[in-house]
Amino acid sequence: MLKTKENHVKSGIYKKGEVDLGSIIKAIKEKPNILKAGSIHTFTGIVRNSSMDGKPVVSMKIDAYDDLANKSIEKICKELKKEAGIIDVMIAHLKGDFDLSDDLVYVVVASAHKKEGFDTVSKAVEMYKKEIAVWKREDFIDGTSEWIH
C-alpha cells in the first residue's frame, strides 16, 4: 500500500481492497492545509454492465504498470493543485478482478469553494483516463473478453 511516512494513504495504484474512499478523505482531512478548504468533492468510478459499444459486461480485470501509472497520477495531482482555490487532489486507481458495481477509482478534491472543486474533479477524471498506464479487460456475457486502455 502506498502511504506517506505519517502512514497516510497517498495517490497511486492500489490492489482492490487496499484503500477505500473513506481512507482517502481521512488522509486529505489530516493534512494541515485542509483548514483552507470549504468543500471536499469526490468521484467514484464503478464497473458498469455494458461496454462503450453496448455489449453486456459481467466482470472486469484492471492491470497497471504501477511505476509509470504512479508517476502519471502524481503529475496530474501536482498540476491540478496549482489551480486557484484547489487545496488538495488525490487519485487512487484500483487493480485486480472486479464485479459489476465494484469501485474502480477514487478522485478526491479539497477546494476553497465548490465551483473550482467540481471543475477540478472533472478535469482529473479526463486526465487520468488519457494519461495513466492502466488497462482493463472487459469480460462479456457471451464468454469473450477485450483488453482496452
Average pLDDT estimate for 62-70: 97
Alpha carbon distance 60, 15 (integer Å): 14
Angle, vertex CA 45, rays to CA 26 and CA 86, nearest 5 = 50
Give 50's DSSP letter. B
The pLDDT > 70 percentage for the chain reads: 95
Mean pLDDT of the chain: 95
Alpha carbon distance 120, 19 (integer Å): 22
Grid coordinates standing for 75?
Answer: 503529475
Residue 92 included in any domain: yes
Residue 135 included in any domain: yes
Average pLDDT estimate for 23-47: 97
Burial label for 63, CB within 10 Å (0-12, 13-18, 19+), is middle
pLDDT tens digits, 115-135: 999 999 999 999 999 999 999
Residue 55 bridge partners (DSSP): none
H/E stretch holding 61 reads: strand 57-64
Residue 37 included in any domain: yes
* Domain containing residue 93: CATH number: 3.90.1170.40
Q: Is the pLDDT of residue 78 over 60?
A: yes
Residue 7 included in any domain: no
Burial label for 140, CB within 10 Å (0-12, 13-18, 19+), is middle
Q: Total domain count for the chain?
A: 1
Print the domain residue range for 107: 12-141
Residue 4 included in any domain: no
Continuous H helices in 49-113: 66-81
Residue 19 included in any domain: yes
Pairing of strands 12-15, 86-99: parallel
Task: Indicate the SS3 state at residue 54.
Answer: coil
pLDDT tens digits, 97-116: 999 999 999 999 999 999 99
